[in-house]
Amino acid sequence: MLISKNSQSIDGPSLKRHFGGGQNLLSLWIAEPYVELAPEIVAALGERAGQGWYGYETRTHHVVGSFWQWMSTRHNWQGGTNRTLISPSVGTSIGVLLQTITNQGDRVILQPPVFTDFKTLVNANDRQVVRNILVLGEDGYKLDLEDLEKKAADPATRALILCNPHNPVGRVWTPTELSEVATICANNSVFVIADEIHADITLEAHRFTPFATVANQAGARWAALHGPIKTFGLAGVCDTLMITDDDEIAERFQSVSSQLHLTRNNVFGLAAFEAAYTQAGPWFDEFRALVEHNAALLRHGLPEEVGLIELEGTYLAWLDFRALGLEVPELANWLALSARLALSPGHWFGREGAGFARMTLAAPTEQVADALERLHRAIATRQRSDREEHDEL
């Protein structure tokens, strides 16, 4: 797969803001594909642009239908009888759901280290974050179910934001783990907001389990967030979906969306959404194979001082730099200045992420190989200067 011609220059302003910018900085920090996107989608957008008419366009049932067709064939999830509502972004859905399900001051459980926007949204809505920290053991990250049960039992706790597959630690939660979460939440009347935006990107034998399929048995209340934005790299153009089997939640969500007029269609969004789910499957298969290939390269090519948390899903590798002993700002600075790598520093995802960094593998293999070389070189330089310092003493 080819490198996207534009991704390195387009994220230039944020590269400068977060990593100091400058020459030869390799950007692998954003959770989106750094490759050329599906030609079918690009053609559909070009075709729509060529129509020269960009007024109001009604969303036909084919748009949402294309998503359910994809879910049915790719994940064996026949969920089309659920309520499926349109939302401009996953973040919008989380905000609207928090306002729908919880009241000011209520507690909302997050499972850090986790995608940064969750905390921002909970705080912005005047709700309180409760941390059910993921536990890192010999065989990777696990949910702390005992702690979840304790936190869920607090009557002020009203919701859990679950991330599956999990950004940034790369877990694809198993049906058993999800059932346990569903049971705990059902027993304690905690509503589950399942952010499943990375659902399509699972690696090797790992399979995505929709929370919906375990929730009903346990009696848990839920809403799931989906859409083509991560799978096909369409965050700048497409809407997302809020899915639930709960009529009351769907009505309230619809009502807030109407009050704020969040429902206008973007003509390009409509074209890209449908083209993605109906035509871009072969591109996606190739893309997923690329991510798997890059993950294997990383598994065998990292310097021994850097650990790799086994990647089950998402295209985000979670790298363990703790052996270098760098404190929070130093690790990010060392990566940017010494390795010339723009990676997301782990502390962005909560204090539990300190000492880690997240790197996207949704990039041409040459770039991942380049990133590995940069890490090797920067570590060798660091070791040399440590030795010289030691010799001087």
Ligand X SMILES: Cc1ncc(COP(=O)(O)O)c(C=O)c1O
Q: Which residues bind ligand X (CB under 6 A)?
A: 31, 89-91, 115, 163, 167, 195, 197-198, 229, 235, 240
Nearer to ligand X, 106 or 195 (CB): 195
First CA to last CA distance, the chain: 50
For the bound state, the minimum distance from the C-beta of residue 29 to ligand X, rounded and expressed in Å, comes to: 11
For the bound state, the minimum distance from the C-beta of residue 341 to ligand X, rounded and expressed in Å, comes to: 19
For the bound state, the minimum distance from the C-beta of residue 388 to ligand X, rounded and expressed in Å, comes to: 41
Nearer to ligand X, 115 or 334 (CB): 115
- Which residues make beta-bridge pairs with 130? 109
Cβ-based neighbour number of residue 157 at 10 Å: 24
362, 32 Cβ separation under 8 angstroms: yes
Strands 157-163 and 107-110, sheet pairing: parallel
For the bound state, the minimum distance from the C-beta of residue 11 to ligand X, rounded and expressed in Å, comes to: 13
Nearer to ligand X, 229 or 371 (CB): 229
Q: Which residues of 265-297 are buried (b: 16+ CB within 10 A; e: fewer)?
A: eebbbbbbbbbbbbbbeebbeebbebbbebbeb
For the bound state, the minimum distance from the C-beta of residue 197 to ligand X, rounded and expressed in Å, comes to: 5
Alpha-carbon span 346 to 65, nearest angstrom: 38
- Residues 6 or more apart whose CB falls under 8 angstroms from that of 10 comprise none
Nearer to ligand X, 194 or 372 (CB): 194
For the bound state, the minimum distance from the C-beta of residue 89 to ligand X, rounded and expressed in Å, comes to: 3
For residue 391, report the phi and psi dihedrals to the nearest 5 degrees. Answer: -65, -35
Nearer to ligand X, 167 or 188 (CB): 167
Strands 307-308 and 316-320, sheet pairing: antiparallel
Nearer to ligand X, 132 or 183 (CB): 132
For the bound state, the minimum distance from the C-beta of residue 18 to ligand X, rounded and expressed in Å, comes to: 15
Burial class (CB in 10 A: 0-12, 13-18, 19+), 366: exposed
Cβ-based neighbour number of residue 331 at 10 Å: 22
Q: Of 143, 224, 157, which Cα lies nearest the Cα of 187?
A: 157
Nearer to ligand X, 214 or 316 (CB): 316
Helices and strands counted in the chain (H then E):
14, 15
Q: Of 255, 191, 254, which Cα lies nearest the Cα of 223?
A: 191
Nearer to ligand X, 195 or 200 (CB): 195
Using DSSP, state whether 356 is helix, strand or coil: strand
For the bound state, the minimum distance from the C-beta of residue 31 to ligand X, rounded and expressed in Å, comes to: 4
Interaxial angle between packed helices 145-153 and 175-187, expressed in degrees from 0 to 180 and rounded to the nearest 10: 20
For the bound state, the minimum distance from the C-beta of residue 318 to ligand X, rounded and expressed in Å, comes to: 13
Nearer to ligand X, 48 or 198 (CB): 198
- Which residues make beta-bridge pairs with 129? 108
